[in-house]
Amino acid sequence: MLPKKLQDAMNQQIKNEFYSSYLYLAMSAHFESVNLRGFAHWMRLQSDEEAEHGMKFFDFITVRGGRVLLEAIEKPPADYKTPLDVMKKVLEHEKKVTGTINTLYELALKEKDYPSQVMLQWFITEQVEEEKNAFDIIELLKNLGDTPAGLLMVDQKVGGRKKE
């Protein structure tokens, strides 16, 4: 049985993951509106991945005999500046998510809930990858994105992302 404190915290994390999905979908819509289809594609896949993360928590709570309680998701921002600014926001957001996952892991340790610790280890590893991906795109944009040709090169590169 999933401890109540963890159930409540994981329900909050479901909301966080679906907010992340919604945020990246809003960013995808922004990039579509400025004809940067590669960035739009990357954000769309990122949105899908975050929704899958939310469902991992959903399923875990259910399998452990808990109850999923969904909360309202706030509206994400709709207006963005340059792709570099957007990717900096992505990295900042991913660092925030890393913090919430780490807090959940600390709670699982405190509650001595070993199945939750194992499941959360997957998310800890995933967050390292998420932060690295955003950082790498930021670096590409810093190196290549100041010119229209450079921006188009980065757009093409990120547009090649495949669904994992």
pTM of the prediction? 0.95
Name the helix (H) or strand (E) containing 156. helix 148-159
Rounded to whole angstroms, the Cα distance separating 161 from 164 reads: 9
- Taking only the tens place, the pLDDT of each residue in 34-49 is 999 999 999 999 999 9
- Taking only the tens place, the pLDDT of each residue in 78-113 is 999 999 999 999 999 999 999 999 999 999 999 999
- Taking only the tens place, the pLDDT of each residue in 108-161 is 999 999 999 999 999 999 999 999 999 999 999 999 977 899 999 999 999 999
- Domain layout of the chain by residue ranges: 4-72+80-159
Name the helix (H) or strand (E) containing 139. helix 114-144
Residue from 108, 102, 107 nearest 128 by CA: 102
Give the CATH fold of the 4-72+80-159 domain: Ferritin (1.20.1260)
Torsion region of 65: left, alpha or beta (phi above 0 gives left; psi -120 to 50 gives alpha): left
